[in-house]
Chain A
């Protein structure tokens, strides 16, 4: 088997050996076993956590079935987002159009569930058969008096990133609908956190403690009304910049709200995020409270991870994530645990991202864009990695290779954000890397040579 596909050679970079000129932001090569998803996937994961909205998927059943409650995005109230609604397009709809079916479905669902808004996801086929989704949404919005928003997420119209953008477009139509009185001047929106395992709650609590009001966490444990008044916030604080930068930029243009990019992963980045917000408001009390919080939390985390750090020192990790921004934080967090990063890659990073990754990594590190299982397995074996960090498709691959694994994607089971998250992360990494099961794995006993047969 060929190690790296010829057309992909520029998408793999070895620090210290190659001159840096990584290729990225390309369409995947047809015929590759890419780990990437589609436009619809991008829209669906971003909007999914808005719990009091109706999410109707207009297309054949698969798109709804595969995205039914797969993201552990928690809600503190309504659970409507966890159901799976589909127009279940049939052959006659493909021939005669599905607009009527869409209309009927919307009316039926809105009458039954009284959602605060409805998102209608247009899938591949809707783009091809030419249903006028916008018109149907407009009609239903008029009849039912709630925002009914088309999300143009036809799978073939770009990459997951384009899906994020389509989701942001829909969000922009909700923002500005609600009055913004009684909002503190120290107020922010949290962008790009999805409350997986309850992470938004943890972050909200930090802001509460330092005296910053969170107007809306847009997506994480999201509510339509909060989003509607989010334009009243003084600052947008953007995490997971891949999905939400577009929204932040648009809100800046439209409402003059400045934004900053942060990450809540690892103690260094979490602290920096809180300080950045405090510095923005430049209030003595706020800065002081932030300083106190950071100091006490960092001390506590360091104490609690000391044991894991001792055990994990010198272990090697491979990282393969969706957006590159997450990889930056992961590298720092792994360094904090005394670990080395030997392989790092993303599905959708851009040139700036990869330059920054290169600067953060040790010589010899492999940096890769839009990778596939063969490459990932070979690189991981070559570098004798002890831990793989990735998503659902990478987990069994890592296990088959006899490596520890940590899901830093939809399937994380506990909070990995914030200070609490760093401790959980250390525990999770420790339990997987140090698991006695690897003693029984052939790689540790006989050496398997190349990673892929």
Chain B
């Protein structure tokens, strides 16, 4: 067994993460930046950071990932990375002609104390930034938060650099999605359009990281939020922020900078959270919910009514990012399932109380852990002590699923061994249907596999 090294006795660890349920900030910033049209993400640090992020994103999306690096050397680490970054900005505009360069920092450049604001100013002063082009940045020290924090920081960077309040009122709603897949972003846009709401979604990685095969390499794929749209967010009626960990900092900044109020919702995963999103959108834009959306909801609910008995009382372990886990936990409870182990490597005090509040009297003794030592080693130990019927998480869950022989549904980042996440959403009522399908398939395949001959069922 691959995880033979996991003892079932849980001891409090002093200082150690084993098989993490998170990764570092910069990759989140890189992912978010790819959601701006014509943007070249730039990693201000050693070459390896950029290579690792590109490789990991490539494994997850099966797409080429374009990003540049400051290629730190020993000299840069001693004297500061300004010279490298200035040269990099110049080279990127010369060679790759991006509309915008989105710089994120790394543990290295943060620790040596590079002042990115000042370096960007100098790049403009020195004429390294062509007319009409942009350089934005965010700070993403790898030793703070997680990849989700990095995503949030880059989204806030978009507001900081682009959102403008011109005083001209625009009949549009900003929607900021937390870290979700291109398929999810596409679905959120579709829902808004279906409801007749003019929305600016940012970031938007649809048509960037789910690009069609065209027989050529689109260095800047068609998708991504445009700069004019990003600027216009300062004149919008309202911002709907989906998932506090990924989006609240950007939404709050947009409020303080441009006086655009925001409504903070969960990621629209599951029936209840999608209901809140749809009604939030309908209220914000003063539109009726169209019958087409109601019908989608009806179909999703219909599946649940048809198959409810297979969900009832099933114990679930889930791990991943806090915004997903919160919405997913609520969904599982709505299905009368029992999420008993919930783990996220991303730190943040609001996570546990929120989850406990959802679980309240349903699963009062659930193990809910996030931040330090909340890793897959711990999750495996918890599962050994109290087994589950279903495991939900990213690809790394497959070790536990195999060793403990648990049905496994892949959701989260990264998924490196299956396809689907880029193309089929888990948000909205369409997402509900997909989640129901993959969870049911996992559970029923298992039931078929284990059923004795006499009770092997044809009709389920």
Taking beta carbons and an 8 Å cutoff, which residues of A are in contact with B? 1-2, 5-7, 27-41, 59-68, 70, 79-80, 82-91, 93-94, 100-102, 104-105, 108-109, 112-113, 123-125, 127-129, 155-159, 373-374, 377, 381, 392-393, 395-397, 399-402, 440-446, 448-453
Contacts and interface: CB of A to CB of B under 8 A. Distances in A.
A136 to B, nearest CB: 12
Contact of B24 (A36, A61, A395, A449): A61
A29 B85 CA distance: 11
Given A87-B15, A125-B108, A30 B142 contact: no
A90 B216 contact: no
Interface stretch (B40-48, B232-240, B383-391, B426-434): B40-48
Contacts of A31: 42, 68-70, 87-92, 95
B215 A62 contact: no
A128 B45 CA distance: 13
A315 B217 CA distance: 21
11 contacts: A27-B71, A34-B50, A36-B47, A37-B47, A63-B48, A68-B19, A94-B141, A127-B77, A156-B108, A400-B63, A446-B215
B125 interface: no
Q: Which of B77, B89, B211, B213 has the most CB of A within 10 A?
A: B213
A125 B219 CA distance: 32
| Complex A-B, nearest 6 residue pairs according to Cβ-Cβ distance, in ascending order | A38-B48, A62-B24, A443-B215, A31-B88, A155-B46, A31-B91
Given A373-B66, A393-B51, A393-B65, 18 more contacts: A7-B91, A30-B69, A31-B87, A31-B90, A31-B91, A37-B47, A60-B107, A66-B55, A100-B15, A101-B14, A123-B107, A156-B46, A373-B64, A393-B54, A396-B58, A400-B214, A401-B216, A453-B217
Q: Which of B5, B111, B146, B217 has the most CB of A within 10 A?
A: B217
A92 to B, nearest CB: 9
A301 B396 CA distance: 38
B168 interface: no
Contacts of B27: 62
Given A34-B71, A61-B24, A124-B108, A402 B215 contact: yes
B142 A28 contact: no
Contacts of B97: 1
B15 A105 contact: yes
Given A5-B91, A66-B55, A91-B141, A400 B216 contact: yes
B47 A34 contact: yes
A105 B16 contact: yes
B214 A442 contact: yes
B77 A66 contact: no
Nearest to A94: B143
B144 A90 contact: yes
Contacts, number: 282
A40 B47 CA distance: 10
Nearest to B72: A156
A30 B46 contact: no
A401 B48 contact: no
A400 B213 contact: yes
Nearest to B216: A448
B111 A128 contact: yes
Contacts of B216: 377, 381, 400-401, 442-443, 448-453
A62 B88 contact: no
B56 interface: yes
A284 to B, nearest CB: 46
B300 to A, nearest CB: 33
A82 B2 CA distance: 8
Contacts of B54: 393
Contacts of B108: 124-125, 128, 155-156
B308 interface: no
Contacts of B66: 33, 373
Contacts of B169: none
Nearest to B26: A62
A446 B4 CA distance: 54
Given A40-B48, A91-B143, A156-B77, A401 B91 contact: no
B120 to A, nearest CB: 14
Contacts of A59: 107, 142
B59 interface: yes
